[in-house]
Amino acid sequence: MNPHSFFVAGTDTGVGKTHVTALLLTEFRRRGLRAGAMKPIACGSGGRCDAEQYAALMNHEQPLDVLNPIYLRHPLAPLVAAKLERRRMDLHRVFANYHLLATNYQPLLVEGAGGLLVPIRRNYSVADLARALNLPLIIVARLGLGTINHTLLTVRQAQAMGLKIAGIILNDITGSQRGLAEKTNIKAVPELCGVPLLGVVPHGNGTAAARQICRLLLR
Ligand SMILES: Nc1ncnc2c1ncn2[C@@H]1O[C@H](COP(=O)(O)OP(=O)(O)OP(=O)(O)O)[C@@H](O)[C@H]1O
Ligand SMILES: [Mg+2]
């Protein structure tokens, strides 16, 4: 187990995994750490943007193909996209690139694709990839109505597969006025999941939240 590298898992696609990863990467590097991030599998036209963002934050020290070894054109689950494109994904490249990066960057943040049970191959999901990399999860969830269910489903699945969980980050993706769900999530989600809340990332500038989260992750 590498305690200073993490697998950034989402409760869904579009919940803010890249946004949060970029914030943490920026904060780790501001602290003088040689931090890095990768997106092993990206799908869809916007998919490679995630790794492009990480490459820029890492001063383009690594080529995009190292940070993102597998890129599929369709915005679909990797298994489905690969079938459509008649491609077989070479997961060896994912592991080789991960090991290359993990020896050069600490902490290394590995962004998943969609949620935990998104299929990469038949009978091989994003959660299997996290387990193969032996990394603790940072679970990113939307702040708002529905999040207790999504987060609990993710936590229960991770625990059933023996994955470690570093904590949960609630991300305010909409920035709309906080109602009762948003306010009560902050106490209810960690309590019901039995997993620590690392922080709440506000809409817009998340620098202060990232500082607090990085402090907790480095403890
Ligand atoms: N806290 C936030 N404040 C402002 N904008 C945000 C915030 N979180 C996410 N966003 C925006 O919401 C969109 C989706 O977020 P993001 O791309 O990080 O999700 P993701 O979980 O990485 O998605 P994917 O599954 O496609 O990789 C992006 O345009 C991002 O900039
Ligand atoms: Mg992303």
Domain that holds residue 191: 6-217
Q: Which ligand is nearest to the CA of 9?
A: 1
90-128 pLDDT, tens per residue? 999 999 999 999 999 999 999 999 999 999 999 999 999
For residue 170, the cross-strand partners are: 141, 200
Q: Tell me how far the alpha carbon of residue 29 lies from the centroid of ligand 1, in angstroms.
A: 21
Report CA 187 to chain centroid distance, whole Å: 22
Region 74-89: mean pLDDT is 95
Q: What is the mean pLDDT of the chain?
A: 95
Q: Is residue 67 in some structural domain? A: yes
Report CA 32 to chain centroid distance, whole Å: 22
Does the pLDDT at position 52 exceed 50? yes
CA angle (92, 74, 146) in 5-degree steps:
95
Please work out whether the CB of residue 17 comes within 6 Å of at least one atom of ligand 1. Answer: yes
**Which pLDDT band, with edges at 50, 70 and 90, does 4 fall under?**
confident
Task: Copy the structure tokens of residue 92.
Answer: 């060896």
> pTM of this prediction?
0.97
Angle formed by the axes of helices 126-133 and 147-160, nearest 10°: 50
Does the pLDDT at position 140 exceed 80? yes
pLDDT at 45: 74
Q: Is residue 107 in some structural domain? A: yes
pLDDT at 1: 46
144-162 pLDDT, tens per residue? 999 999 999 999 999 999 9
| Contact (CB, 8 A) for 142 and 171 | yes
Q: Is residue 1 in some structural domain? A: no
Please work out whether the CB of residue 16 comes within 6 Å of at least one atom of ligand 1. Answer: yes
Q: Which residues are catalytic?
A: 39
Domain count of the fold of the chain: 1
Q: Is residue 16 in some structural domain? A: yes
Which CATH number is 179's domain given?
A: 3.40.50.300
Q: Is residue 163 in some structural domain? A: yes
Cα first-last separation, the chain: 16
Does the pLDDT at position 200 exceed 80? yes
Total residues belonging to the chain: 219
Ligand 1: residue of 39, 173, 201 to mutate (most ligand atoms within 8 A of CB) is 173
- Using alpha carbons, select from 80, 141, 67 the residue that is nearest to residue 111: 67
